[in-house]
Amino acid sequence: MLAANWKMNPTSAGEAAELVKAIADAARGQQQVTVAVFPPFVWLLGVLELLEGTSLQLGAQDCYWEPSGPFTGEVSAAMLAGICQWVIVGHSERRAMGETDEQVARKAGAALAAQLTTIICVGENQEQMDAGRASEVVAAQVTAALAQASADDSGRLVLAYEPIWAIGTGKNAGPEHAYGMMRLLRETASGIIGERAGLHLRVIYGGSVNAANIESYVELPQCDGCLVGGASLKAEEFSAMIRSTAGVYATAGS
Ligand code: PGA
């Protein structure tokens, strides 16, 4: 799968429409890759209308765990479930604003309970990486985030390994490092929700993925796809990424 995390972009409904149309065109006619776009909340409904008759799926970039109530500015997983199939929780850009492991676990729990396919992001920062603590940090994040998950959720569970030092920096993780960490994500999750469920869930990589390096990830045996930020805003580049991913999957499947 490829997830297009638009973050706080584009800044107008017109640009969002243009981008989603271009991505839909690129995804048309191929069945190998599930492509999901994650616009800002405010563009979700407009984009949803444009998705009719396309193969694209829709997701939100965050959610709140309570279904409704006095939570100014929040959008619940339950509300999103009526509009989209996917949600991202625990992105490092939200953790950097103070989101805790416990909050990520509550968001993931609510999202899974609302039947949303849920991408849980984890990843170490540069300092933790340099100190040789990447595995320890990431395993702890996965363990905390899955506090409310069960084996029944595995089909809707996606773990994204997103090293913070690789996000938006152009310094993508080497495929070997990414492979080891994605294996760790799956093993850690298996220890919590069970071996079979662990095989079933998806594990993806994110962090400076672009048209030039995407194949090196999607061809990894542990990798079920990529979470793409900056490059997903460039229609031509993201279209090329869909095509090359479909090519890798077609070769692997033949
Ligand atoms: P990037 O962002 O592709 O711009 O590095 C990835 C992400 O934050 O999900």
pLDDT, tens digit only, all 254 positions of the chain? 999 999 999 999 999 999 999 999 999 988 899 999 999 999 999 999 999 999 999 999 999 999 999 999 999 999 999 999 999 999 999 999 999 999 999 999 999 999 999 999 999 999 999 999 999 999 999 999 999 999 999 999 999 999 999 999 999 999 999 999 999 999 999 999 999 999 999 999 999 999 999 999 999 998 999 999 999 999 999 999 999 999 999 988 76
Q: Which numbered atom of ligand 1 lies nearest the CA of 209?
A: 3
Q: Is 200 a catalytic residue?
A: no
Give bridge partners of residue 36 from the DSSP assignment.
Answer: 3, 57
Active-site residue, from 49, 74, 91, 93 = 91
- Closest residue CA from atom 7 of ligand 1: 229
Alpha-carbon distance 107 to 65, whole Å? 5
Q: Is 91 a catalytic residue?
A: yes
* Mutational test site, ligand 1, from 208, 214, 217, max ligand atoms within 8 Å of CB: 208
Q: Which numbered atom of ligand 1 lies nearest the CA of 167?
A: 5
- Please report the pLDDT score of residue 254 as a whole number: 60
Q: How far is the CA of 227 from the centre of ligand 1 (A)?
A: 7
Please compute, for residue 165, the number of CA atoms within 13 A of its CA located in the half-sphere on the CB side: 13
Alpha-carbon distance 103 to 117, whole Å? 18
User: How many domains does the structure of the chain reveal?
Assistant: 1
- Closest residue CA from atom 3 of ligand 1: 229
Q: Residues with Cβ within 6 A of ligand 1?
A: 5, 162, 167-168, 206-209, 227-231
Does residue 207 contact residue 162 with C-beta atoms inside 8 Å? yes
Q: How far is the CA of 169 from the centre of ligand 1 (A)?
A: 9
What end-to-end distance do the CA atoms of the chain give, in Å? 18
| Extended beta strands in 8-167, E state | 35-38, 57-60, 86-89, 117-122, 157-161
Looking at this protein, which amino acid is placed at residue 147? A
Q: How far is the CA of 237 from the centre of ligand 1 (A)?
A: 14
Active-site residue, from 162, 176, 187, 200 = 162
- Closest residue CA from atom 6 of ligand 1: 229
CATH of the domain at 85: 3.20.20.70
Largest CA distance in the chain: 53
Q: Which numbered atom of ligand 1 lies nearest the CA of 5?
A: 9
Q: Structural domain of residue 242, as residue ranges?
A: 2-253
What token pair was written down for 94?
């939200």
Q: How far is the CA of 228 from the centre of ligand 1 (A)?
A: 5
* Dihedral sign from CA coordinates of 60, 47, 71, 150: negative
